[in-house]
Structure 1
């Protein structure tokens, strides 16, 4: 099939999207991508047709800011999607994120092509946008109107012929809330890392400039209050002041709204001595970092967004045979308990107790880490991350029994 993929961003840094495209090409499909061009130098691809829409990043951000109240952003994408479908003569359209559903459907109608629309949900978008400080604080809240997405969600889901979700629990949640989706085919596609890429990274023997003489906690990803990493910094401080010896490595960009609080915390004397912060690192270095750390952190705040799926970092920790310390978000709790690959907490006291167990017991860490790698390999053997390929490979699946 000729499959058209649409993402309202650069697609190079979206590892979920890159992996899906690689899997589709491996199955023999022709893939064309419609994405943004923010004026950078981009690589070319022999195996993918890439159509880039040139736009200044600030203009794109402004259009997104106004998108809930005004329809300009959807009209913009409708026009470009229609032209994209006609140019590449695609047999199916695959758009990413809830807010692209209406533009995708209208783009198909405008093109006069009769093709199916697949909507790929990277997250529970209404819950996500209502957790972003940029969308919920001050005058922006009045412009963005994030709560409207709870009312728009069902209509946007129903624009799709197929839905791709992060977890079985998220699928069940959507069907429970929206009975109109009972006949819509669902395909679960978790955020598992690309084994082939990780193995190629390891073959390159990449070296990282980090070393610690004490056990090291590791957080890899966006730093923000909603991700919970800022919540646990005072708890880490208390443990250090109580005599525990460990280091914490944090890698990832800080949300603008949270920069002041984050830097204030990590610059406190005892934390500054025991925390290494790196604003960004290419994912190709991740396997090398995993060899240097002791415990993986997944401190996400428990909410609708984080209950919808398992973050990529948990699978990355499992790949590196690293025990996980995590909150009890539904999907990640189910994974950790089924794999017996980590410990869970709900409050400061439980965090301190569980972290102390992991720091004090090397055998426990090794057992949990090995369990995680074993579970991850089993998931790959079951090809649980490739279910979405059935949308395009002509197999009919009982979507309610997946």
Structure 2
């Protein structure tokens, strides 16, 4: 089949989308991608058509800001999707994220090609946008009005012929809230890493900018209040003040709204000598970092967004045989408990006790880490990350 993939980012660093495309290509499908061009130089893909909508990032951000109540953003995507379908004579359209569903459906109609639409949900978008600092603070909350997405969600889901979600729990949540959804049209595709790519990364001995003789807590991902990392940093300081010896490594960009607060933690007189912050590292370096750390943090705030799926960092920790320390978000709690791959916490005292327990027991860390890798390998063996391919087998 000729499948068109639409994603409203630059595509090059969207590892979930790239992995899906590789799996689709292995099934013999021809893939074309429609994404953004923020006036940069991008790499080429020899076996992939990538078309880019050129737009200044600030203009795109403004259109997103207005998108709840105005259709400028949808109209932009509808126009380009219509042309994209006709130009490549597509047999199916695979669109990422809830807010593109309407534009995709209208694009199909205007192209006069009667093709199926798959909507790939990377998150519980209504819950997510209601947690974003840029959408809920100051004057922006009156413009964005993020709460309206709770009412728009059902209408947007109706545009899709098939849905892809992150977890069984999110699938169950959607079918309970929206009875018109049929369970057999919803496919679970967890954020499992591209195993083949990670194995290839390990063939190169990448030098990484970190080393410590102390047990190390590791957080990999966006640094933001909503991700929970700000919640645990004061507790980490308390542990250090109480004499527990360990290091903390954080890799990932910082949300603009949280930069000053995060910097205050980095500069804290107790923490500054026991924390390393790296704003960005290519995922190809991740296996090398995993060999140098002791505990993987997944401190997400418990809410409907984080209940909807397991973040890829948990699977990355499992790949590296690293024990996980996580909050009790529904999907990640289910994964950790079913695999015995980490410890869970709800309170500061539970977090501090878990850190102390993991730091002082190398054997416990090894046991939990081994359990995680075993579970991850079982998921790959069961082809858990390939279920969505059945959508196109049925359409073919």
Cross-structure match for 1:185? 185
Q: Tell me, which stretches of 5 or more residues in structure 2 are unaligned?
A: none
1:339-358 matches, cutoff 5 A: 339-358=339-358
Secondary structure class of the residue paired with 1:164? strand
Cross-structure match for 1:129? 129
Superposed CA deviations along residues 208-245 of structure 1, whole A, max 9, x for unmatched, are 12110110000000000000001100000000000000
Cross-structure match for 1:372? 372
CA apart distance, 1:19: 0.1
**Matched positions, count:** 396
Structure 2: distance between partners of 1:106 and 1:26: 30
Structure 2: distance between partners of 1:334 and 1:158: 29
Structure 1: distance between partners of 2:49 and 2:137: 40
Q: Tell me, which stretches of 5 or more residues in structure 1 are unaligned?
A: 397-402
TM-score (norm: length of structure 1): 0.97
Q: Contact 1:33 / 1:50 at 8 angstroms: preserved in 2?
A: yes
Cross-structure match for 1:257? 257
Structure 2: distance between partners of 1:51 and 1:209: 35
Secondary structure class of the residue paired with 1:269? coil
Secondary structure class of the residue paired with 2:305? helix
Superposed CA deviations along residues 2-29 of structure 1, whole A, max 9, x for unmatched, are 0000001110110000000000001100
Secondary structure class of the residue paired with 1:180? coil
Q: Does 1:159 align with 2:174?
A: no
Cross-structure match for 2:303? 303
Structure 2: distance between partners of 1:5 and 1:11: 10
Structure 2: distance between partners of 1:226 and 1:73: 25
Q: Does 1:52 align with 2:47?
A: no
TM-score (norm: length of structure 2): 0.99
Q: Contact 2:175 / 2:183 at 8 angstroms: preserved in 1?
A: no
Structure 1: distance between partners of 2:277 and 2:247: 11
Secondary structure class of the residue paired with 1:293? coil
CA apart distance, 1:46: 1.6
Q: Contact 2:66 / 2:143 at 8 angstroms: preserved in 1?
A: yes
1:308-327 matches, cutoff 5 A: 308-327=308-327
1:136-215 matches, cutoff 5 A: 136-182=136-182, 185-215=185-215
Q: Contact 1:163 / 1:184 at 8 angstroms: preserved in 2?
A: no
Secondary structure class of the residue paired with 2:213? coil
Q: Contact 2:105 / 2:159 at 8 angstroms: preserved in 1?
A: yes
Cross-structure match for 1:86? 86
Structure 1: distance between partners of 2:331 and 2:148: 25
Structure 2: distance between partners of 1:329 and 1:166: 13
Secondary structure class of the residue paired with 1:203? coil
CA apart distance, 1:182: 2.9
Q: Contact 2:7 / 2:95 at 8 angstroms: preserved in 1?
A: yes
CA apart distance, 1:394: 2.1
Structure 1: distance between partners of 2:353 and 2:214: 18
Secondary structure class of the residue paired with 1:13? coil
Q: Which runs of 4+ in 1 moved over 6 A?
A: none
Superposed CA deviations along residues 310-333 of structure 1, whole A, max 9, x for unmatched, are 000000000000000000000000
Secondary structure class of the residue paired with 2:146? coil
Structure 1: distance between partners of 2:125 and 2:219: 23
1:272-311 matches, cutoff 5 A: 272-311=272-311
Structure 1: distance between partners of 2:316 and 2:395: 30
Cross-structure match for 1:400? none
Secondary structure class of the residue paired with 2:363? helix
Superposed CA deviations along residues 68-118 of structure 1, whole A, max 9, x for unmatched, are 110111011111000000000000000000000000000000000000000
Cross-structure match for 1:247? 247
Q: Contact 2:310 / 2:332 at 8 angstroms: preserved in 1?
A: yes
